[in-house]
Structure 1
């Protein structure tokens, strides 16, 4: 089943197109990851789908309706987005930050109701952050802060959650902690999760569906087995990859790779590849 899709979507800044004629169906109640090198349009696509930025032409359809014509507050009841580097006002407590997720549901003077407080506490409990409710967000670790931001998205009570590189700046343990939480939300609450990931093996491990982008166009979309292949990674990341199987999940994984010889190997491309396979400094 598909509730959310794009149809010949063109997105850009000024006269420069970043995403070109992109049509994709995002499976409902599944985890979708978007992969691709730096600057290929991953974050731009997320921003356009969630109406943070306008698109030049084409359509984004949610439940058969064009989101560009819908009410912003009503749209916020259906989809939430966690940006790449979320920032909150200094001095906010965890509870205060998560309460912002209730904004689309508030009426009149915007005072929190009993239902609002119940949802806030539920979101904190589900993400394992209830114990931090009265602590300042700035005092938390990176992994704890990321879980709090996810709690705020959950407090919106949306069926669809977008996350732009939710594991950025986190160590390996905290990355796994966040991804396992998102998987739990998908499996137990049937939330549709759409996220941008740089690590190919994490994308393969946690995704039901993968969209591989290059220069604003889809190279391949489908299951992990269909996308995490030698040919697709060659086209998307310009690498010669050895693909094996994760011994714990039996999903495809990139074991090792070489840069393709005789081609452009400038520093920006190399940095994108290192990020994609989880190599950091």
Structure 2
């Protein structure tokens, strides 16, 4: 089932065309990861789909409706986005910032209800930020702030969540915590998750579906097995990658790679498992 898709989407910054005639379907109730080199249009695509920026031509369709014609509150009950560089939260406590996720549900004078407070506390709990509830956001470390922003997105209680590099500023353990949380939300609550990730192995490990972009155009879409292959990574990143299998998840993984630097390679190098190159599990 597909609730969300784009059709011939073109997005420009000034006179520079960033995304070109892009048509893509986002699988419902699945985790989709978007990969590509810096400046290829990943973040721009997320912003256009969530109506943060406008597109020059083409359409974004959600539940059969053009999102450009939807009211902001209705759209905000369906889609939430955590941008790559969230706006400043200067002067706000953690609890206050997370409460902004309840905006689409407020009426009248905008007072928070018992349900709002319950959702806020749940979002703080699952992101490990409950102890910071009354602390200023400015007083937190980069990793702590990132988790608070994720809590705000979760408090919005949308069926679709977009995250632009959600593991930025986080150490390895907290990266895994965040990604496992998003995976749990997908599996337990059928949330549709769409993420831009730079780490290819994380992208493949947690994705049901992958989108590979280059210069604003799709190179390949499909399962991890279809996208995380030598030829796709060669075209998207200009690398000669060795693809193996994660012995714990059996997902494809990039074991090692070289920059191509102008040379060509015609052979796809694969190994069955990463353990075969000297790592014991």
Whether the aligned pair in 1 keeps the contact of 2:143 and 2:168 (CA below 8 Å) is no
Partner of 1:75: 75
Between the two proteins, the alignment pairs up a number of residues equal to 264
Aligned mates of 2:205, 2:255 — CA distance in 1: 13
CA deviations on 1:1-49 (whole Å, 9 max, x unpaired) are 1111101111111222100010111011111010000110000000000
The TM-score normalised by the length of structure 1 is 0.90
Where does 1:1-281 land on structure 2 (aligned, <5 Å)? 1-262=1-262
The TM-score normalised by the length of structure 2 is 0.90
Whether the aligned pair in 1 keeps the contact of 2:102 and 2:156 (CA below 8 Å) is yes
How far residue 218 of structure 1 moved from its aligned partner, in angstroms, is 0.3
Deviating beyond 6 angstroms after TM superposition, the runs of 4 or more aligned structure 1 residues are none
* More divergent stretch after superposition (127-136 vs 155-164): 127-136
Whether the aligned pair in 2 keeps the contact of 1:37 and 1:236 (CA below 8 Å) is yes
Whether the aligned pair in 2 keeps the contact of 1:33 and 1:196 (CA below 8 Å) is yes
SS class of match (1:25):
strand
CA deviations on 1:231-270 (whole Å, 9 max, x unpaired) are 1001111111110011111110111111114269xxxxxx
Aligned mates of 1:143, 1:180 — CA distance in 2: 16
Structure 2 unaligned regions, length at least 5: 265-281
How has the CA–CA distance of structure 1 residues 262 and 118 changed in structure 2, closer, same or farther, with 3 Å as cutoff?
closer
How far residue 133 of structure 1 moved from its aligned partner, in angstroms, is 1.4
SS class of match (2:180):
helix
Partner of 1:277: none
SS class of match (1:23):
strand
Structure 1 unaligned regions, length at least 5: 265-281
* More divergent stretch after superposition (253-262 vs 93-102): 253-262
Aligned mates of 2:142, 2:191 — CA distance in 1: 24
Whether the aligned pair in 2 keeps the contact of 1:146 and 1:178 (CA below 8 Å) is no
Whether the aligned pair in 2 keeps the contact of 1:143 and 1:178 (CA below 8 Å) is no
Whether the aligned pair in 1 keeps the contact of 2:8 and 2:21 (CA below 8 Å) is yes
Aligned mates of 1:88, 1:189 — CA distance in 2: 30
Whether the aligned pair in 1 keeps the contact of 2:32 and 2:208 (CA below 8 Å) is yes
